Amino acid sequence: MSSDKDSAKRSDFVARYGPWALVAGASEGLGAEFARQLAARGLNVLLVARRAQPLEVLATELRHQHRIEARTAVVDLADRELPTQLTAVVGDLEIGLLVYNAAHSLVGPFLDQELGGLLRTIDVNCRGPVVLSHLLGQKMAQRRRGGIVLMSSMAATQGAPLVATYAATKAFDLILAEGLWEELGRVGVDVVACRAGATRTPAYERSQPQGSAGKGILGEPGPVVTAALQALGRHPSVVPGWVNRFAAGFLGRLLPRRTAVQIMAKATRSMYER
């Protein structure tokens, strides 16, 4: 009985968001987890990132485990020619779900960063989501069905030193998704921003100072992705995990902004300053 229910749920999901999902930034961490959960729900997946090898390994795993189609495309999401490249990569695949997961994130004092790196952060984290949501959203709107998941962050709640540009791009993603939730919702396309807290991924672990195991509570990719997919079609944004929801409510709504920034500053400095 429950397996009948599961397969009905799976076909509802495919009818709403299938037959293909494009996951941008799928080679590891949260993006790979999105690909796994979407394949388990019966979607074919187009996996996009810069490194071909981990994409191929994941595509092979998903084809065998879920009997879906999986393709890969090597694309730098910061590329100036992204709209043309994306159009070529997608071809005539019917993409019913976009997950824009990739991010570029630099940690360190703003003035010590190379300007090129800061601008790349804006390209990958802001320009990329606009390009992909626009190109794929147009086709979804014509079909009057589809979904878009944009990865934001708890860092979007207020500014923070040492990650000022990254945090600002994540605020952009949150506000973009909320606006599109209302606008595209009217033409049958569901949009959600996922404001993840610190999550155990290879990128997160690489960002920690050497010898540090990271401070505070770390989430796991599985529950974060499940929460994002459950919120799709229900809410404009989601904060996975009750500790993060409490922190987001406290920092974002209860405290004066100045105090919220100071608390976040203490946290980022204790995490990243030696």
Ligand X SMILES: NC(=O)c1ccc[n+]([C@@H]2O[C@H](COP(=O)([O-])OP(=O)(O)OC[C@H]3O[C@@H](n4cnc5c(N)ncnc54)[C@H](OP(=O)(O)O)[C@@H]3O)[C@@H](O)[C@H]2O)c1
Confirm or reject binding of residue 50 to ligand X (CB under 6 A).
Answer: yes
Binding footprint of ligand X, residue count (CB under 6 A): 28
**Residue whose CB is less far from ligand X, 153 or 237:** 153
Task: Decide: helix, strand or coil at residue 74.
Answer: strand
Find the DSSP H helices in the chain: 2-17, 29-40, 52-66, 82-90, 115-122, 128-143, 164-185, 202-207, 221-231, 242-249, 257-272
Rounded CA separation 52/34 (Å) = 18
Select the residue whose beta carbon is closest to ligand X and give its number: 29
d(CA 41, CA 36): 9
- Interaxial angle between packed helices 29-40 and 52-66, expressed in degrees from 0 to 180 and rounded to the nearest 10: 20
Among 104, 140, 148, 162, binds ligand X (CB under 6 A): 104
* Active site (annotated) includes residue 272: no
Shortest Å distance, C-beta 113 to ligand X = 16
Q: Which residue lies nearer to ligand X by CB, 14 or 70? A: 70
H helical segments located in 144-218: 164-185, 202-207
Q: Which is nearer to ligand X, 68 or 106 (CB)?
A: 106
Give the footprint of ligand X on residues 1-20 (CB under 6 A).
none
Q: State yes or no: residue 25 binds ligand X (CB under 6 A).
A: yes
Measured CA to CA, the distance from residue 137 to residue 188 in angstroms comes to 10
**What phi, psi does 159 have (nearest 5°)?**
-65, 160
> Which range touches ligand X (CB under 6 A), out of 49-57, 89-97, 134-142, 179-187?
49-57
**Angle 136-141-147 (CA atoms, 0-180°, nearest 5)?**
65
Out of 21, 62, 78, 131, the residue judged to bind ligand X by CB under 6 A: 78
Stretch that binds ligand X, among 4-12, 29-37, 132-140, 242-250 (CB under 6 A): 29-37
- 28, 56, 61, 69: which one contacts ligand X (CB under 6 A)? 28
Alpha-carbon span 233 to 4, nearest angstrom? 23
Question: Rounded to an integer, what distance in angstroms lies between the CA atom of residue 91 and that of residue 214?
Answer: 42
- Active-site residue (options: 5, 17, 139, 166): 166
- Using alpha carbons, list the distances in angstroms from residue 238 to 153, 182, 203: 10, 15, 21
Half-sphere exposure of 30 (CA within 13 A, CB side): 31
Q: Does 127 bind ligand X (CB under 6 A)?
A: no
Q: Does 204 bind ligand X (CB under 6 A)?
A: yes
In terms of CB distance, is 9 or 51 closer to ligand X?
Answer: 51
Is 9 one of the annotated active-site residues of the chain? Answer: no
The residue from 139, 170, 215, 266 that is catalytic is 170
Does 29 engage in binding with ligand X (CB under 6 A)? yes
The answer to whether residue 229 forms part of the interface with ligand X (CB under 6 A) is no
Residues annotated catalytic, as ranges: 166, 170
Kindly list the residues in this chain that would bind ligand X in the complex (CB under 6 A).
25-31, 49-51, 75-78, 101-104, 124, 151, 153, 170, 196, 198-199, 201, 203-204
